Amino acid sequence: MAGEYRLLLENAQQLVLVCGRGEKYLLQAGAERLAVLRHASVVVGRDGYIKAVGQADAIRNQFSGASFERVIDCSGKCVLPGLVDAHTHPVWAGDRVHEFAMKLAGASYMEIHQAGGGIHFTVEHTQKATEEELFSTFKHRLERMCRAGSTLVECKSGYGLNLETELKMLRVIERAKRSMDIGISSTYCGAHSVPKGRTATEATDDIIHNHLPKLKELKLSGEIHVNNIDVFCEKGVFDLDSTRRILQAGKDTGLQINFHGDELHPMKSAELGAELGAQAISHLEEVSDEGITAMARAKCAAVLLPTTAYMLRLKQPQARKMLKEGVIVALGSDFNPNAYCSSMPIVMHLACVNMKMSMNEALAAATINAAYALGKSDTHGSIENGKQGDLIIINSSSPSSHGHVILCSSTG
Ligand SMILES: N=CN[C@@H](CCC(=O)O)C(=O)O
Ligand SMILES: [Zn+2]
């Protein structure tokens, strides 16, 4: 085949497609049998999309007359789809390392929050920071994520709470979306905490009557395009009723529902998410059995966050039960000032050790299923013709050994 192409990754020892038949997600059985080709190659076109995947010999013959901007010999190496991080809070100012000492001394996450620290501390500093300062630290954080293999990252606002600062955060995320070689799914999380001096009902009304209409206006003018809506549905933060009102209003504005639920207390968040048609719910350490059943039925992804349970010494989310019941299990780093982990390989490792997921389940959860949680599994999360050429090469012949990412190519 003649023509000009961007990239040829040639003769990988293992080309881990994850899936290869247009699957939108993998349940337990599918995750156990990931699609893998040996001695295989992949071609990415100049538009950044995958044009061919197959045995190295067949690709060599098929593209014998073609030219490539870059050819990489992947002999002895392993190629995987770029990792997808389905939950991060990466835009903020103000270090909270002092709270780590408080937690080690026995304070709980909620005790610190209720005493005006935690999210409130970060909000105070983020409100004062300039857009430029926020962008500069955010950019470095994204670069670190990319170096660890993430090529698509969900990024939340939520340390502004007032409209002005929420928009500042969303503008920063939008700027990265347009200027950086990493995919971003942006989330409006104005209901991350109840602002000091307000009730949850007042905050809910403000979000519904002021924040969401403004987001709609900015979308129409092409200034900011947000993908998801999030609420921290938790005892002492937003109760089930306020959560329902905000999520429904967000959905009516055209946003995908993707929210924090059942983290510290059982809230029936999973049941609510399934009823509202949520694309995903994160955390779920305290999910009920009925909630798990409802999520499986509604094809609502569970975004599990092993760093949070580790950092806060919470009980682990019941990954095994969710998988057994047919829930789509995805993973996220939950990168935030309280859980400073930008590496999806570490997240996958924690998921295996602490949540008892198999290595293949963790890989499916950090690729195709995380892409599904963001409504992007048509274009991301596996190595298939027509998908974005987001690929990582590791200097190891097997995806599960201790290889390092040596190239992370994202077409943004
Ligand atoms: N639980 C709520 N939000 C974050 C933590 C944010 C913070 O503490 O700054 C989470 O997902 O873990
Ligand atoms: Zn979070």
Instruction: Report how far residue 47's alpha carbon sits from residue 412's, in angstroms, rounded to the nearest whole number.
Output: 11
- CA of residue 253 to ligand 2 center, whole Å: 22
Low-confidence ranges of the chain (pLDDT < 50): none
CA–centroid distance, 300 to ligand 1, in Å, is: 21
Mean predicted lDDT score pLDDT of the chain: 96
Which ligand has its closest atom nearest to the C-alpha of 187? 2
pLDDT at residue 69 in the model: 97
Asked if 185 and 217 sit in the same domain, the reply is: yes
CA of 336 to the centre of ligand 1 (A): 7
- The count of domains in the chain is 2
Q: What is the pLDDT of residue 101?
A: 94
How far is Cα 165 from Cα 199, in angstroms, rounded to an integer? 19
Q: Determine the pLDDT at residue 405.
A: 67
Q: What is the CATH number of the domain that holds 76?
A: 2.30.40.10
Query: Tokens 């959905």 label which residue?
Result: 251
The CATH number covering residue 228 comes to: 3.20.20.140
Q: Of the bound ligands, which one is closest to the alpha carbon of residue 87?
A: 2
Residues 303 and 254 in one domain: yes
Mutate to test the pocket of ligand 1, among 192, 258, 303, 311 (most ligand atoms within 8 A of CB): 192
Rounded to the nearest angstrom, the distance between the alpha carbon of 125 and the centre of ligand 1 is 16
Ligand 1 atom nearest residue 337's Cα:
9
Residues with CB under 6 A from ligand 1: 89, 118-119, 122, 232, 260, 263, 308, 334, 336-338
Q: Are residues 300 and 398 in the same domain?
A: no
Note the Cα 371 to chain centre separation in Å.
8
Which of 169, 232, 333 for a ligand 1 pocket mutation test, highest count of atoms within 8 Å of Cβ?
Answer: 232
Q: What is the pTM of this model?
A: 0.97
Q: Which amino acid is at 364?
A: A
Do 369 and 381 form a contact (C-beta atoms < 8 A)? yes
Domain co-membership, 51 together with 99: no
Q: Which atom of ligand 1 is least distant from the CA of 92?
A: 9
pLDDT at position 60, please? 97
SS3 333: coil
In this structure, the residue with its CA closest to atom 7 of ligand 1 is 119
In the structure encoding, which two tokens stand for residue 25, read together?
Answer: 């997600």
> Does 116 lie in the same domain as 232?
yes
Instruction: Tell me, yes or no, whether 144 and 155 share the same domain.
Output: yes
| pLDDT value, residue 75 | 97
Of the bound ligands, which one is closest to the alpha carbon of residue 233? 1
Q: Which atom of ligand 1 is nearest to 122's Cα?
A: 9
Ligand 1, atom 11: closest residue by C-alpha: 334
Assess whether 244 and 316 both reside in one domain.
Answer: yes
152 and 182 assigned to the same domain: yes
Q: Are residues 294 and 389 in the same domain?
A: no
**Closest ligand 1 atom to 338 CA:** 8
Domain match, 342 and 193 both: yes
Provide ipTM, 2 decimals.
0.96
Cα distance between residue 368 and residue 24, in whole Å: 7
Mutate-to-test residue for ligand 1 from 124, 260, 264, highest number of ligand atoms within 8 A of CB: 260
For residue 221 the two structure tokens come to 């003018």
Minimum CA distance residue for ligand 1 atom 10: 334
Residues 100 and 40 in one domain: no
* Residue 91 and residue 126 in contact, taking contact as beta carbons nearer than 8 Å: yes
What distance in angstroms lies between residue 194's CA and the mean position of ligand 2's atoms? 15
* Same domain (yes/no): 163, 49: no
Please, what's the b/e burial string for 310-326 (b: 16 or more CB within 10 A of its CB; e: otherwise)? bbbebebbbbbebbebe
**Structural domain boundaries, residue 186:** 83-373
pLDDT at 400: 75
Q: Residue 75: how many CB atoms within 10 A of its CB?
A: 12
Q: Give 312 Cα–ligand 1 centroid separation in angstroms.
A: 11
